[in-house]
Amino acid sequence: MSTTTIRLPDDLKARVAKIADAAGLTAHGFMLHAIEEQTAQAEAQAAMHRVASERLQAFRQTGKAIPWNEARQYLADRAAGKDAPRPRARKIAR
């Protein structure tokens, strides 16, 4: 494991120490957890952007998509516990 030094303003350092103590963590453990969470969130967002870009490219090539009203109804049915048939992509007006 490597060591990294960060400079924190005194007020932020005090806030971190206070909240870490309340959570039963050391300031180091709290900051490590915060960095892990932020990194995971950034990675998930980057993955979502990649998928969205791939899907947009596929739509531009094929012109096929699922209209939002059909997708919304499918999701509402599934959330209600219904065994709804999955809507199929088809050419739609751009």
Task: List pLDDT tens digits, range 21-59.
Answer: 999 999 999 999 999 999 999 999 999 999 999 999 999
Query: What's the pLDDT at 22?
Result: 98
Q: Are residues 75 and 51 in the same domain?
A: no
**How many structural domains does the chain have?**
2
User: Do 19 and 57 belong to one domain?
Assistant: yes
Write down the pLDDT at residue 94: 67
Q: Is 33 left (phi over 0), alpha (psi -120 to 50) or beta?
A: alpha
Same domain, 56 and 14: yes
CA atoms of 85 and 45, how far apart (whole Å): 29
88: in domain: yes
Instruction: Specify whether 20 is located in the same domain as 47.
Output: yes
pLDDT tens, 53-91? 999 999 999 999 999 999 999 999 999 999 999 999 999
